[in-house]
Structure 1
Amino acid sequence: MENEKLACLIEISRSSPQLITVEATVVSGLEKIAEGECYEIFGKTTLIISERGRVYFNILREHLPNVFLMRSIDNVYIIVYVKEINFGSDKKEDLSMLLNCYSEIEWRKPISVWKDVYQYSGTTYPTKEEYETSKRIYNTLNDSNPKKCKIAKEKNHIYNEISNWNEKNCKNLTNVERPDDEPQENIAKDNSNVGDAVSADAKITVPKFRVSAKRVGTHSFTSEDVARTYGALIQEDFLWIVDLTDFNMEIMTNVTDSDFIISISLTKSSLHRRNLTVFGLTSLRATICYSLIKMALPQVGDVVIDPLSGSGSIPIEGAAAFPKSYFVAGDFQDVPCGLTKKNLENYDISKTLPLDVMKWDSLKLPIRNSSVDVVVTDMPFGKRSGSKKSNKVLYPGVLRELGRVLRKGTGRAVLLTADRRSLEMAHNMTKKLWNLADRRHVNVGGLKAVVFLLRRTLFD
């Protein structure tokens, strides 16, 4: 990662109380689409840095709601801290370097942003008395859940060990400035008699949190070491409750060969979870669908088809994102056509999508010559759907038929597949019909896939 550029973004955002640095995850290989969407929404002067699977950008805090409207990104985080660290081979020294970073972290603004996003009404800077009261309520509520009790015992043992190590090795790391202007509820006074039984209106009023760690590269420590260490530090510092499953806040630590990044998650679930209520074997994420359609740049009035639509993930996302174009979904089998119709029925009833569903043979489309503007489709990968042997016959036939229905000179086809060799062979066999405008390697559910952007030539 370009650590210096990201550090520069952080410094710029620190210079203004209204600026924040956002991290958004994207499907690997489609970062440029997310960059373009950032520029469209936040302006051409937006400072953006991208690396594989991620984009970082600075925006005004008041514009944060618009981030959640972006269609190309999966998860959103606010960056808290970034530091370049030269890790060695000694575990104790490396963990000490990570611990020493803690005193440099400025938590106030990121926590305030998290609180606004989740509309959290509890006390983010509790007193010890408030914490202990909420912890008693938490323990009592979870005593009846054997699974959570077991997790809690293991967790407490781990954090006690780390806390003892912290006390011996890292002094004066407390970094929380408790704002005087934050409203504080006197929880202890209201629940002073909390014991084994919890009243019906008793509430946990301090955040429950967990620290998740991701690590890339070779290090002397494990991801679990990082999560445990920072979890213990944050718990001691903020007096929050550690809960690995039912948490309000998730704090992310990312460690690479020489980078250490801390962020707070602003999404409970990925933004790609939209549109579909029933799924086929190969339904694509909505974020991937949007990026594929965006590559084709559909215009007002364009006719866009997906000849192998499956459960309709591409045309439904396209019709939602580009309502001034007209989409047609089609498949050879009754089941996928039925899934598409079901997803349309379950879509937001307040919106009418410019989309029709047809049953057809992708090798014999019931469409006039040169009448379609754009084709976007997910070709059979030859794994869950079809086979690589059948693809060698299917792909050339599909490309010839798409060449027939697309407008000469202006028609565009965006094709996704993990069977790269079959698509390359089909393209070579129909080369007279197509110009290869772009090719991108993407990660689809852990599979290495490729996207071809083809432009229709003037030749038959």
Structure 2
Amino acid sequence: MTESVELFCTVITGFEKVAAKEIAQKLPARNVEWSRGNVRFFIDLNLISLTLKLRSVDNLYAVFYENQVEGLQRMSKMEAIAEIQKQISFCNWKLAVEAWQTMNGKKSSGGSERVVEQMKQFIQEGKETEVSDESPTFRVTCKRCGEKSMHQFTSMDAASKFGAQINNVFGWKCSVKEFDMEVVLRIERDQMTVMMALNRESLFKRNICAYGPTTMRSTMCFCMLSLADVHPGDIVVDPMCGGGSIPIEGAMAWSDAFFVGGDHHELAMERCRQNWPIDSPANQSNCEFVQWDATNLPFPDSSVDAIVTDLPFGKKIGSTTDNRLLYPRLIGEWKRVLKKGGRLVVMTHDKRSLENSILKDRSSWRNDASHIVNVGGLNCLCLRITNVKNV
């Protein structure tokens, strides 16, 4: 029988349901559940490399231990650290190493059989393993959830002492920057979860090489585009595209739809050309960029299937005063070019200006969904509305 593993995926807070839907659609996943900032599910161990196809998740981890450490919040620093170190004996290190090996397509020194034997000798005889030239490198990261004052120890305390115990038991070499494996502790109140990181670089670091002041993560772009319910043959427009992150993500994820991005600033157009060079043989032909005025788009009435865009927040660009005048003009123009039934997905921190703009023409729009999304520490509104009445 094929062994299964539980995966823990970090996602953008506010888009957990979107990520869970993608996971259920793309993977042979079981027991898909989500909570704030993450989605968890089970999948066969030999299939975990399929998770790299996901476009809504930032990071992937294999869970190989989870338990309540009774009274962890009440313990002194020394007691708590000693209790955390004890948990190493209960972790499924065989599963952790095999998950890492499967995802990376290579075997660690000695493989999973070696860590099982080392742990057995440590538990029965107290035998520790010396570091050797063949020893893999690793680091431990601790992430505590909730109020940090609930524990007497710091995240650094837990990470360093747990890492020291890994070094003692397995003889792995600790390296903060140059490491093969990353072990992650997640501690929430008395709950302790131990995970193995499966991707070295965050999955949102794709597509973009030229960044602007408000460039969005590729994972956030995908989630917004998913809300637009893109169909084959659709024309999808980002009227304020900046460096083109939304159209580029769309073109990569939906090869059977066409994406157009535009911006009024020449510097933005230059970033688009760098991020999506037309002479690259790897690029599809389903994405184009045009310099324009977002309040006067070069499209006929009722010609666009969906508009997906990141509005100026009034922080780094513009102001809330400007937005009160700008947003209604944008919404009116976008209603003109959208087909009846066309979808509009917008994101902004200036919730009041957006909501007031929609209310001014409420009979033309149907509110389908709203998400409060964490964007760089700001709680932003992502709204999906449908054009129900053309001008």
**What's the CA shift for 1:273?**
0.9
What are the Cα deviations for residues 269-318 of structure 1, in whole angstroms up to 9, with x where unaligned?
11111111111111101100000000011111111100001100000100
User: 1:363 — aligned with what?
Assistant: 295
**CA root-mean-square deviation:** 2.4
User: 2:380 — aligned with what?
Assistant: 449
User: 2:344 — aligned with what?
Assistant: 413
1:74 and 2:88 correspond = no
| 1:315-326 matches, cutoff 5 A | 315-326=247-258
1:114 and 2:100 correspond = yes
User: 1:381 — aligned with what?
Assistant: 313
| 1:13-412 matches, cutoff 5 A | 17-43=2-28, 46-86=30-70, 87-91=72-76, 92-124=78-110, 172=123, 204-216=133-145, 217=147, 218-345=150-277, 349-408=281-340, 410-412=341-343
CA distance in 2 between partners of 1:338 and 1:414 (Å): 25
Structure 1 residues 366, 235: CA separation in 2 closer, same or farther (over 3 Å shift)?
same
Q: TM-score, normalised by structure 2?
A: 0.91
Q: TM-score, normalised by structure 1?
A: 0.78
CA distance in 1 between partners of 2:143 and 2:137 (Å): 20
CA distance in 2 between partners of 1:317 and 1:337 (Å): 16
Maintained 8 Å contact 1:37/1:70 = yes
Maintained 8 Å contact 2:97/2:108 = no
CA distance in 2 between partners of 1:108 and 1:283 (Å): 40
CA distance in 2 between partners of 1:231 and 1:315 (Å): 43
**What's the CA shift for 1:175?**
9.2
Residue 346 of structure 2 aligns to a residue whose secondary structure is strand
- Report sequence identity in percent: 31
Maintained 8 Å contact 1:105/1:175 = no
CA distance in 1 between partners of 2:169 and 2:157 (Å): 18
Residue 276 of structure 2 aligns to a residue whose secondary structure is helix
CA distance in 2 between partners of 1:314 and 1:233 (Å): 45
What are the Cα deviations for residues 189-234 of structure 1, in whole angstroms up to 9, with x where unaligned?
xxxxxxxxxxxxxxx4211111111112311211112112211111
Maintained 8 Å contact 2:335/2:390 = no
CA distance in 2 between partners of 1:433 and 1:348 (Å): 41
User: 1:434 — aligned with what?
Assistant: 365
Amino acid corresponding to residue 69 of structure 1 in structure 2: K
**What's the CA shift for 1:264?**
0.7
Structure 1 residues 34, 267: CA separation in 2 closer, same or farther (over 3 Å shift)?
same
What are the Cα deviations for residues 77-131 of structure 1, in whole angstroms up to 9, with x where unaligned?
111100123324232333333233222212112112212323445514699xxx9
Q: 4+ residue stretches of structure 1 with deviation over 6 A?
A: 173-178
Maintained 8 Å contact 2:259/2:287 = yes
Maintained 8 Å contact 1:103/1:175 = no
Structure 1 residues 211, 300: CA separation in 2 closer, same or farther (over 3 Å shift)?
same
Q: Which runs of 5+ in 2 are unaligned?
A: none
CA distance in 1 between partners of 2:67 and 2:125 (Å): 19
Aligned length: 378
